[in-house]
Amino acid sequence: MPRREGRSASPGAGDVARHNGGRNRAGVAVQAGQGECPHVSSVDEPARHTLAIARPFRLYHGGVLPAITLAYETWGPSEPCPTLLILTGLSPSAHAASSAEDPTPGWWEPVIGPGCAIDTRRIRVFCFNSFGSCFGSSGPASVNPVTGLRYGASFPELAIEDIAEAAYQALIALGVERLDAVIGPSMGGFSALALTLMHPEFVRRLGLLCSATTSEPFAIALRSLQREILMSHRNGDPEALEVGMVLARKLGLISYRSPVEWRKRFGRRRETDPRSGAAHALDSEAPFAVEWYLDQRARSFAKRFDPDAYLYLSRAMDEFNAEDHGGGHLAPALARLRLEQVLVAGVQTDQLYPPHQQESLAQALGRAGIPVDLHIFDSPFGHDAFLIDWMRFEQPIRKLLDFA
């Protein structure tokens, strides 16, 4: 993997963010600072910038917010060069990779940087924390300026299209007139596709990783059960709510990986770490290693992610359907696109968005006359392969971003 020395965040974004209280040519206030989510107030992300769009924001399903804020990070040259947008899955912040401002490894660290698949020596990269999330962007965890209280369940219904539109407005405010590419894994694939459908002239190339045009019943069923678990623990007791988050996240983690990986990784091994204790009161032995793994990962997540944001984003994923942009049919929706190239990639073991969804999407894009590069990888890591088995995605991403 390329070395990380000399890596720096774009000075251009820093210049924008330093104009605290000012307005750019789009009439949007820009500032630097941390987000509003109480679950992440202690998280130190020094490379994070925030952009306040100080005008009413109309949501896709109705409702209006008086203003919104988006958190973002940026990497790459400040001089004119190709521009890439990364839209995230449900849980990440905007900290996709390290920089001189923040050397902490990001959630897609091996993929972004000098000489990496997303080569920041020649491409300027933006990554936004999704609108509706809780790592600095407006969402249910934000404070309602009218009441002075957190929105919580009073936040308007959230759609994937709102995530896309918020990112679009933020990019325009930052001076980006057209994207050379947008890449989205998982939920980010929905957001990236929605962005191209809503603003077809704004995007040249599109990368969809472990994603699809909509969610099938299996994925909807899993997420609906996660929401039910979480809602069943909303009784005013913060500790009970955290238990609900832990249980919901455990179910999510099971769906993100594959039985193939866990059979090889855990088997029936018991956890011997002295910190593990017993998984349940009735257990006389140490928990199975897979139980310990789920418990530790889920507890860590529950302490840093807002429950309301989880509910809203989860439901938005279930509701998204690209066919809605074509009168209930996919073909007229895709006919709107003006893309030069699309990368569609998935893995055989993805339980949430299995290979047939990527294959059908590639076929539909082809029928629309759009060049498609389809890859279905034989990875054991399931839906999370784009994070863990990133080497398989490296060359297709490089090809998508070859703007020569």
- Other Cβ atoms less than 10 A from the Cβ of 41: the count is 9
Tell whether 2 is covered by a domain: no
Residue 350 is a catalytic residue: yes
Q: Are residues 64 and 134 in the same domain?
A: yes
| Residue 10 annotated in active site | no
Choosing from 186, 215, 255, 314, the catalytic residue is: 186
pLDDT at 34 over 50: no
Spell out the residues 6+ positions from residue 240 whose beta carbon is closer than 8 angstroms to its own. Answer: 233, 234
Q: Which of 278, 313, 348 is the last residue of a domain?
A: 313
More confident site: 234 or 272? 234
Q: Are residues 165 and 224 in the same domain?
A: no
Q: What is the pLDDT of residue 23?
A: 36
Collapse the DSSP code of 8 into the 3-class scheme (helix H, G, I; strand E, B; otherwise coil) and give the result. Answer: coil
Beta pairing class for 341-347 and 124-128: unpaired
CATH code (residue 308): 1.10.1740.110
How many domains does the chain contain in total? 2
Tell me: do 207 and 227 sit in the same domain. Answer: no
Residue 3 within a domain: no
Asked if the model's pLDDT at residue 39 lies above 70, the reply is no
For 280-301, what is the mean pLDDT? 83
Q: Work out whether strand 29-32 and strand 22-23 pair parallel, antiparallel, or are unpaired.
A: antiparallel
Q: Is residue 308 part of a domain?
A: yes
Tell me: do 382 and 276 sit in the same domain.
no
Q: Considering the domain boundaries, does residue 282 fall inside one?
A: yes
Domain that holds residue 250: 218-313
Residues 225 and 138 grouped into a single domain: no
Do residues 361 and 248 both lie within one domain? no
Q: What pTM, to 2 d.p., does this model score?
A: 0.89
- Catalytic residue, candidates 93, 215, 383, 384: 383
Tell me the CATH number at 113.
Answer: 3.40.50.1820
Question: Can you give 113-176 as a three-state secondary structure string?
Answer: ECCCCEECCCCEEEEECCCCCCCCCCCCCCECCCCCCECHHHCCCCCHHHHHHHHHHHHHHCCC
Write down the catalytic residue from 119, 180, 350, 384.
350
- Judge whether 6 lies within some domain: no
Same domain, 161 and 206: yes
Q: Are residues 118 and 230 in the same domain?
A: no
How high is the pLDDT of residue 174?
96
In a domain, 394, yes or no: yes
Residue 142 among the catalytic residues: no
pLDDT in tens, 217-229: 999 999 999 999 9
Chain centroid, CA 13 distance in Å: 21
Say yes or no to pLDDT of 1 above 60.
Answer: no
Q: Give the torsion sign (CA, 343, 349, 352, 354).
A: positive
Q: For 335-355, how does the pLDDT look when each residue is reduced to its tens digit (9 = 90+)? A: 999 999 999 999 999 999 999
Do 176 and 201 fall into the same domain? yes
Assess whether 377 and 251 both reside in one domain: no
* Mean pLDDT, range 143-154, rounded to an integer: 93
168-181 confidence digits (pLDDT tens): 999 999 999 999 99
Q: What pLDDT is recorded for position 14? A: 33
Residues 262 and 201 in one domain: no
Q: What are phi and psi of 322, to 5 degrees?
A: -60, -25
Among the residue ranges 143-152, 230-239, 266-275, the one predicted with the least confidence is 266-275
How far apart are the C-alpha atoms of 96 and 174, rounded to whole Å? Answer: 19
- Contacts (Cβ under 8 Å, ≥6 apart) of 210: 185, 186, 189, 345, 346, 347, 350, 352, 353, 383, 385, 386
Q: Are residues 362 and 298 part of one domain?
A: no
Domain C-terminal end among 313, 338, 366: 313
Mean pLDDT of 256-261: 96
pLDDT band with cut points at 50, 70 and 90 for residue 116: very high
Q: Is residue 5 part of a domain?
A: no
The residue from 281, 313, 345 where one domain ends is 313
Q: What is the pLDDT of residues 100-111, one digit of tens each?
A: 999 999 999 999
383 within a domain of the structure (yes/no): yes
Average pLDDT, the chain: 89
